[in-house]
Amino acid sequence: MNKAHSARLSQPPGWSYNPSDLNQRLPIGAVALVGFGIAVYLSLYQYRVVDTVWEPFFGRGSERVLDSRISHLLPISDAALGALSYLADVITALIGGRDRWRTMPWIVIFFGVAVGPLGAVSVMLVIFQPVLFDSFCTLCLASAVISVAMIGPALDEVLATLQHLKKAKEGGSSVWRAFWGASGAAPNPGRAD
């Protein structure tokens, strides 16, 4: 089997490209790695490992935002939580092959859950900056842009996976088994999915 034919077999039915192809996922992982670096740097400031935070545009805005009550509501700072989320994005972007939309739906769904809420939380935190603190944080804004930019490319793979799971259900297969990667699983009559 030649490479082009193999690539077409990995492509979801009805799609003009494969959202699980490595060339689709690597940019998401690379951008998440940049976000991880920013979040680690910001968390180092929040935990006083570094004394200052780089802020080219908003004076002491970054300090006001990063030292706010909201940034420390949880037992872990918001930047450290962001770093963990970005790390999950990087790892889940790299796991699996080009047909993971059907062979590893669980990792694709986890990937989507890791990327989607991070973007939503980032937008919420950006809204808080001027409203609650009358300040902005340049690197926080950059992190939010990164988070939002990852959502679209990640969600197309999630959509392909959800279509695969729907097709499994319509074909009488166990959605649960398909979710864990058992393709063509015979339906289990004693179990409701």
What are the tens digits of pLDDT across the range 89-113? 999 999 999 999 999 999 999 999 9
Eight-state DSSP code of residue 18 = -
Instruction: Give backbone dihedrals phi and psi of 132, rounded to 5 degrees, phi first.
Output: -95, -30
Which residue type does 120 have? A
In 38-64, which positions are buried (b, 16+ CB within 10 angstroms) versus exposed (e)? bbbbbbbbbeeeeeebebeebeebbbb
What is the reported pLDDT for 88? 94
Q: What value does the mean pLDDT take over residues 110-128?
A: 86
Residue 66 pLDDT class (50, 70, 90 cuts): very high
Residue 122 pLDDT class (50, 70, 90 cuts): confident
Asked if residue 138 has pLDDT above 80, the reply is: yes
d(Cα 124, Cα 73) in Å, to the nearest integer?
15
3 vs 85, residue with greater confidence: 85
Domains of the chain: 19-179 (1.20.1440.130)
Residue 186 pLDDT class (50, 70, 90 cuts): very low
What is the reported pLDDT for 123? 84
Asked if residue 192 has pLDDT above 70, the reply is: no
Asked if residue 7 has pLDDT above 90, the reply is: no
Asked if residue 1 has pLDDT above 70, the reply is: no
Residue 193 pLDDT class (50, 70, 90 cuts): very low
d(Cα 193, Cα 175) in Å, to the nearest integer?
6
Q: Which phi-psi region, left, alpha or beta, contains residue 181 (left: φ > 0; alpha: ψ -120 to 50)? A: left
Instruction: Give backbone dihedrals phi and psi of 152, rounded to 5 degrees, phi first.
Output: -55, -55
Q: What value does the mean pLDDT take over residues 32-55?
A: 97
Q: What value does the mean pLDDT take over residues 182-193?
A: 46
Which residue type does 13 have? P
Asked if residue 166 has pLDDT above 60, the reply is: yes
